[in-house]
């Protein structure tokens, strides 16, 4: 088991290990002994596997437990689902010492976190991510929110969880495609800040990661440590945290152009591939690093290209919520394990991608 401390506006621990779900009640009791009621928020694809176990564990610890299960998928990430959570808590008489548990992937954590940030002006929430992507990225760092018709994550709040419980055993049953999608975010950490992780991923394969629980725990733990370091230094996304968006600016446009039918991780991998090519073309990345990086993405079953044109990529990025005024922060990797934030105008970004 690996325990990683995150120091932010609220300090918390990320526990990464196996068979943790059945200990949820005890783990919550340890950090919030005065809580009485818990709302477990989960999604339709995850609840049948884990909701009963988490519920039983919380009840065994003496909590009064309620649940709210929404239809899995990005389409549920809206204000109506949040209103359902607010209503469930208001009806059950939740007070400020009660809390929410998010049991599921990134969409679930983002929404449960937003409901926690806003109900009674803020109550605690615990993340129990069940996908690789949520374990290594979305569940840590307190980005919460919902989508608007105009774009993803347009409304939200920074609201840190009080505890993150990462049960690696949940990944045993994760469909191959969903696991591979999560690998895009793992590879992202390797490229932007973690050469030892890059080397470890090069020495291993998708098969070895999936069949060796200790190796998987180690890899997830390395990503958690990377994310914790980033959050500690820039919780509110004004500096180093933006490097976590490597491949995402193009990736988000690809996602939108495909009406969100392509999974997020696949689009991020494509976005990273496009940025690698652009850096190589602009002579900021060596041919050797560029081909090694693309080989690694492909080795883990992910794509490195897309039909998107530079004009489309730039037009889409101009609606990006990370844009500041007319300037876009573009994340570059010019050497494996190191990233750089480069501010570009619309014209400069287009020239860079062409
Ligand atoms: N997922 C990117 C971030 O947490 O900033």
C-alpha 142 – ligand 1 centre gap (Å): 9
C-alpha 36 – ligand 1 centre gap (Å): 31
* pLDDT above 80 (res 319): no
Closest ligand 1 atom, residue 138 Cα: 1
Q: For residues 86-91, give the mean pLDDT.
A: 98
Q: Note whether 296 and 330 are within 8 A (CB).
A: no
Q: For residues 291-320, give the mean pLDDT.
A: 93
Residue-level pLDDT at 320: 65
Q: In degrees rounded to 5, what are phi and psi of residue 224?
A: -60, -40
Q: Note whether 44 and 72 are within 8 A (CB).
A: yes
C-alpha 63 – ligand 1 centre gap (Å): 31
Q: Sign of torsion, CA 209 210 216 219?
A: positive
Q: For residues 276-298, give the mean pLDDT.
A: 97
Q: For residues 272-287, give the mean pLDDT.
A: 97
pLDDT tens, position by position, 37-62: 999 999 999 999 999 999 999 999 99
Closest ligand 1 atom, residue 137 Cα: 1
- How far, in Å, CA of 264 to CA of 255, rounded? 7
Q: Burial letters for 195-205: b for 16+ Cβ neighbours within 10 Å, e otherwise?
A: eebbebbeebe
Domain range summary for the chain, segments of one domain joined by +: 2-173, 176-353
Q: What is the DSSP string of 100-116?
A: EEEEESHHHHHHHHHHH
Question: Which of 245, 255, 271, 341 should be mutated for ligand 1, with most atoms under 8 A from CB?
Answer: 245
Percent of the chain with pLDDT over 90: 91
* pLDDT above 90 (res 326): no
What is the dotted CATH code of the domain comprising 2-173? 3.40.50.1970
Question: Which of 105, 110, 135, 137 should be mutated for ligand 1, with most atoms under 8 A from CB?
Answer: 137
- pTM comes to 0.95
Residue from 157, 222, 218 nearest 9 by CA: 157
Q: Note whether 16 and 170 are within 8 A (CB).
A: no
Ligand 1 proximal residues by C-beta, below 6 Å: 137, 141, 143, 237, 241, 244
CB-based contacts of 115: which residues, under 8 Å, 6+ apart?
Answer: 41, 82, 85, 86, 89, 100, 125
Confidence tier at 322 by pLDDT (50, 70, 90): low
Residue-level pLDDT at 151: 79
**Lowest-confidence range among 22-36, 82-96, 305-319?**
305-319
List, in sequence order, every residue forming a beta bridge with 324; answer none if it has no partner: 327
* pLDDT above 80 (res 222): yes
Question: What distance, in Å, lies between the first and last C-alpha atoms of the chain?
Answer: 46
Mean pLDDT of the residues in the chain: 95
What is the dotted CATH code of the domain comprising 176-353? 1.20.1090.10
* pLDDT above 90 (res 302): yes
Residue-level pLDDT at 249: 92
* pLDDT above 80 (res 321): no
């Amino acid at each position: 088991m690996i325990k990683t401390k995150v120091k932010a506006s609220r300090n918390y621990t990320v526990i990464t290990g196996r068979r943790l779900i059945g200990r949820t009640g005890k783990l919550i009791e340890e950090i919030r002994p005065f809580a009485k009621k818990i709302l477990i928020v989960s999604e339709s694809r995850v609840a049948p596997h884990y909701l009963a176990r988490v519920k039983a564990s919380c009840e065994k610890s003496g909590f009064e437990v309620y649940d709210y299960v929404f239809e899995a998928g990005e389409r549920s990430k809206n204000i109506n689902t949040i209103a359902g959570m607010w209503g469930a808590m208001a009806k059950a008489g939740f007070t400020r010492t009660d809390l929410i548990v998010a049991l599921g992937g990134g969409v679930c954590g983002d929404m449960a976190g937003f409901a926690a940030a806003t109900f009674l002006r803020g109550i605690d929430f615990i993340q129990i991510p069940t996908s690789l992507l949520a374990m290594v990225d979305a569940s840590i760092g307190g980005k919460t929110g919902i989508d608007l018709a105009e774009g993803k994550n347009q409304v939200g709040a920074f609201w840190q969880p009080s505890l993150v419980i990462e049960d690696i055993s949940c990944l045993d049953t994760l469909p191959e495609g969903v696991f591979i999608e999560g690998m895009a975010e793992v590879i992202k950490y390797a490229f932007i800040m973690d050469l030892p992780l890059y080397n470890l991923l090069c020495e291993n394969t998708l098969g070895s990661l999936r069949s060796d629980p200790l190796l998987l725990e180690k890899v997830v733990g390395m990503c958690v440590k990377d994310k914790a370091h980033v959050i500690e230094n820039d919780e509110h996304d004004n500096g180093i945290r933006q490097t976590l968006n490597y491949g995402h600016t193009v990736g988000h446009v690809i996602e939108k152009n495909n009406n969100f039918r392509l999974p997020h991780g696949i689009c991020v991998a494509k976005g990273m591939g496009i940025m690698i090519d652009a850096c190589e073309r602009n002579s900021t990345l060596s041919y050797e690093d560029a081909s090694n990086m693309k080989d690694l993405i492909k080795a883990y079953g992910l794509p490195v290209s897309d039909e998107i044109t530079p004009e489309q990529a730039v037009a889409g990025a101009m609606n990006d919520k990370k844009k500041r005024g007319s300037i876009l922060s573009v994340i570059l990797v010019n050497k494996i394990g190191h990233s750089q934030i480069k501010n570009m105008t619309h014209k400069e970004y287009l020239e860079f991608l062409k």
